Chains A and B, each alone.
Chain A
Amino acid sequence: MLLAARAAPVKVPRATLDILRLPNGLRAYLVEDHDAPVVSVEVWYHVGSKDEPPGQTGFAHLFEHLMFEGTRNLAPDEFSRYIVQAGGTDNAHTTEDATVFWETVPSSYLRLALWLEADRMRNLVITDRLFRNEREVVKEERRQRFDNQPYGTVIETLYAHAFTVHPYRHMTIGSMEDLDRATVDQVRAFYDTYYVPANASLVVVGDFALAEAQDCIRQYFGPLDGGAPPEHRLPSEPPQMTRRVIKLTRDVALPAFIEGYHMPADGTPDAYPLRLASKILSEGDSSRIYRRLVYDKQIALQAESSGNFTEDPNLFFVFAVLNRGHSPAEGEAAVDSEIARLRNEGVTSQELSKAKNQILRDFVLNRQSTQSRADELGYDAVVLKNPELFNTEIDRFLRVTAADIQRAAQQYFRPENATVVEVYPNEHAMGNR
């Protein structure tokens, strides 16, 4: 197939990026475009769950919730009321590395969104009652999204065993015990350390006029006290020398397993072949792992691989839910033989061009909404520390060779570098059916 052998010649859109640095340390990244009459504003605070000391897991995310609970100028929840009444949408999320607040509004409301973000950057007011209430909400969130879900806590187990010293070993949601231990007194210190202009990046993408937006940013954020950039001094995870296997029994209908291999940080040279490897292993019905486990052997209901690419080295994992009558061992053997094939034989040029086309497709799809463009730009600027990657990262993918992928597979997909969690249905779940 001639068509297939080339990487798509598709013209990828390039954005004009404007960067503004305020004297107080705030960095603003702006991309003006007029595809739709909306604008997205994001504030990235460079603090995430990896900055939490032992015993305080979940605090970064709990704090994120508090940022909606009122300021010197606004009552609890009033922030969101302004956004909603504007017809906009707002929310926030916390990862291991960063806490991100965002709103997308019809373009005439940019000024309002910027004021609201500037206000809560330095004017937060949290009472003990609000703190306790929001802590209960976060505990409900943990129950809803993890504890009460089939397979909901499997990833937590994987991370707890794959990492021994680096704080990626705990989940962003935190443990119930640590959440219960958190106090309102910790709130002010955390706020003054991390929620300062020197640790914040503002992203504005969409339908606005550059000069007007820049003036507005200077006006609202300029008077804020800058603070000092916080240090992120974290222990490095030592190399894993032996394979770790953990067996769990859970109230689930079908067995499952997850394998996690240590891999390098996002933005490093090896991250790109590994992302392409994940496409070749499991993206689409013609991918290797899908084809072997789900299609041909019908061992698994679902099988996928993906790298959790982050600021510090993280895990590349393969996850599968097995069909009735198939054991985790059988699934692991099938996955491991695909992993071995990748190490020993590499990938074909056709597979490589396929993976690159899938990356190009993702790239284009991620440019569709102002919010997804802002997500990407913020991530590049804060986590990868190179905002220009917003335009240029795609080239890093397109330069990867088949040899790069094989070398990366050989380096990281070694049995002793893996932690495996096997999940078995308990008797109750088996007895149900």
Chain B
Amino acid sequence: MATPQRAVVSAIRRPVRVPAACYNHGVAKLSVRYPALPLMLAGPPIAPARFLDLPPSVPPPKPLVLPLPNVSVLENGLRVITVERHSLPIVTAQLVVTAGAEADPPGRPGTAQFVASMLDEGTAGRTAQQIAAAIDQVGGTIDTGADWDDSFAAVSVLTDYTDLAFDLLADITLRPAFAPAEIERIRKQTLSALEVLQGDPSYLADAVLRRLIFAGTPYSHPADGTPDAVRQLTAQDLQRFHSQYYVPSRAFLIVVGDMTPAESVRQARRCFGAWRDRAVAGEANAVPPREPRQNPTAVAPRPHTTIVVDKPDAVQTEIRVGNPGVGRANPDYDALSVANQILGGPASNRLFSSLRSQRGLSYSASSELVCYRDLGSWEVKTSTRTSETVEAARLVLREMKRLRDHPLGDVDLKAAQDYLIGHRALEFETAADVASQVMEFTTYGLPFEDWNRVPQRIQSLSKEEVWKAVQHHLDPDGAVIVLVGNAGGFPKDLKKLGPARVIPIDRLDLAGDGLERAAGAR
């Protein structure tokens, strides 16, 4: 059996997304001729004497028609969303509440994640070790966590153990004990994890960029918390968050796998039927939608905000460049997805070509459209050796400007559309893939019918529509630049990037908008 452990010593050509903490957690000449050599002729195949020197033309894939989830609503308002897949004997049940790190109370960053970590650490009826023993014994898994707009607990089991899975899922989400000893244990773990992350340049670069792009919104703090906040969190803070947000009217249950919708509703009713909303004062912090910015070409060039975090032992600089973006339901989302694919989507893209294929400056260069409920960001990530820091950042800005200032080509547009449409079959392949699509669509209030409409919408976009969206939402002149690396080794022309502020790593303060604590303060 191939083991995941082999990855420890293997090397991969293109990076895959790695978790923030080390310890755990890429057209042109497709010819339109129909197959170069018709192979479907009857009779035994004949191997040609020489290799064909043109790739074969193939018919485009049949349009993908995805089966849509079955949605039922229980009497208490809980939505039960089932996607049947009977090819393998496995079931995943995942309870999601639509409140995540964005709902962390002021001064209490990390609350949502802390609450999620506590779910399987003991309930009214089971100790942490009883939960662990029960799920491990049947070879199942429990996974809990909080993202920005939602928190979740997921239990996966082989089909024979679905009763247990629903029992455990309901127990950990509805009745977590928040026992003092377990809180202290998780607190210690979280503080240790944060200590390790303080030495992880990639984590720091992401966190600083977030502080700057999302300043003034509930999305700017570190979702993992800060050491001070984690030390201060009380059982009461955790209980309050849980009672406020873990309620049926804010929740939905996703069931994917070897189970019929009728059976998943029966299980949901059995385990979650008595769950009721509690009357709680004070609703979630509503985030005001950002006004779309005016056409930036009408705005005079502004200096960049450049933040350098000086980490003297770094052998590479983590580079982030970004600007505010759009919420997930924004009408420009599809156009921006196409634009992002051209700029820095998987594999074949302008950043990869410019920084890696042409210049050998980086192993990875990509861009990402990050979309939350009402707001978002557009971010470029790369890393390079210390001596090339300024050149790499300059090339990133150059590619952002090129995308904003020059009309798109037909080839660019078609390549991106073909990828986004063709790739959908892979985005729905595994149960986990499907669950994450259900979660995104439900959290952001998008209709499942869009699963089968998106390809047509993307196909119908014109170059002009995509370019117009870029001009509205990509802002290379005002972008935030974050460089985490050995500032002492940076080239002298750092000022090319605009005025830079250098923060020594031991003075970096992710808790405050100022980003820096006074010398000597902890």
Contacts and interface: CB of A to CB of B under 8 A. Distances in A.
B506 interface: yes
B54 A219 contact: no
13 contacts: A64-B11, A81-B348, A85-B419, A89-B423, A94-B10, A106-B422, A112-B58, A144-B363, A284-B135, A307-B5, A358-B139, A368-B429, A379-B2
Interface string A137-159: 11111011101111110010001
Interface string A80-96: 11111111111111111
A289 interface: no
A268 B9 CA distance: 21
Given A87-B423, A212-B39, A306-B5, 8 more contacts: A38-B429, A77-B348, A81-B28, A141-B363, A150-B200, A301-B189, A309-B5, A356-B139
Contacts of A379: 1-2
A73 B201 CA distance: 41
Contacts of A171: 9
A87 B424 contact: yes
Contact of A308 (B6, B358, B360, B522): B6
Contact of A253 (B61, B135, B199): B199
A312 interface: no
B356 A137 contact: yes
Contact of B426 (A38, A122, A291, A431): A38
A35 B132 CA distance: 33
A172 B316 contact: no
B59 A95 contact: no
A308 B30 CA distance: 42
A283 B136 CA distance: 8
A384 to B, nearest CB: 9
Name the prevailing secondary structure of the B interface residues. loop
Interface string B132-164: 110111111100000000000000101111001
B404 to A, nearest CB: 23
A77 B357 contact: yes
B359 A133 contact: yes
A410 interface: no
A111 interface: yes
Interface stretch (B18-26, B228-236, B442-450): B18-26
Interface string A1-45: 101100011110100000000000000000000011110000000
Nearest to A320: B23
A102 B289 CA distance: 43
Interface in A405-430: 428-429
Contacts of A143: 315-316, 363, 383, 385
A86 B418 contact: yes
Contacts of B297: none
A247 interface: no
A123 interface: yes
Contacts of B383: 140, 143-144, 148
A370 interface: yes
Interface in B371-420: 383-385, 414-415, 418-420
B282 interface: no
Contact of A219 (B39, B192, B421, B423): B39
Given A137-B362, A302-B23, A361-B139, A218 B45 contact: yes
A198 interface: no
A56 interface: no
Contacts of B45: 214-215, 218-219
Nearest to B384: A140
Nearest to A319: B23
Interface string B307-321: 000001111101000
B87 interface: yes
Interface in A60-100: 61, 64-65, 68, 72-74, 76-78, 80-96
A287 interface: yes
A9 B348 contact: no
Given A10-B158, A141-B11, A147-B315, A111 B58 contact: yes
B15 interface: yes
B14 interface: yes
Given A91-B12, A136-B360, A353-B137, A309 B3 contact: yes
B90 interface: yes
A137 B58 CA distance: 33
B199 A122 contact: no
Nearest to B41: A215
A81 B40 CA distance: 27
A216 B321 CA distance: 45
A244 B193 CA distance: 29
B461 interface: no
Contact of B47 (A109, A141, A218, A397): A218
A132 interface: yes
In the A-B complex, the 9 residue pairs with the smallest Cβ-Cβ separation, listed nearest first, are: A87-B422, A357-B139, A136-B360, A285-B132, A80-B26, A222-B47, A284-B136, A106-B61, A361-B139
A116 interface: yes
B55 A38 contact: no
B58 A92 contact: no
B347 interface: yes
A236 interface: no
A123 B50 CA distance: 12
B426 A253 contact: no
B193 A301 contact: yes
Nearest to B37: A219
Nearest to B195: A253
Nearest to B190: A301
Given A143-B385, A369-B430, A286 B133 contact: yes
Interface in A271-310: 275, 283-287, 291, 294-295, 298, 301-302, 306-310
B49 interface: yes
Nearest to A310: B6
Contacts of A140: 316, 360-363, 383-385
A134 interface: yes
B180 interface: no
A363 B11 contact: no
Contacts of B260: none
B8 interface: yes
B318 to A, nearest CB: 8
B27 interface: yes
B363 A364 contact: no
B89 interface: yes
A191 interface: no
A145 B48 CA distance: 44
A108 interface: yes
Contact of A144 (B120, B133, B312, B316): B316
B1 A363 contact: yes
B13 interface: yes
Contact of A148 (B6, B56, B316, B419): B316
A122 B168 CA distance: 55
Interface string B340-363: 000000111000010011111111
B9 A84 contact: no
A380 B2 CA distance: 8
Of B383, B425, B426, the most chain A CB neighbours within 10 A belong to B426
Given A140-B363, A283-B136, A152 B27 contact: no
A73 B54 contact: yes
Nearest to A137: B360
Nearest to B414: A85
Contacts of A232: none
B129 A252 contact: no
B23 A111 contact: no
Contacts of B431: 368
Interface string B206-240: 00000000000000000000000000000000000
B87 A364 contact: no
A365 B160 contact: no
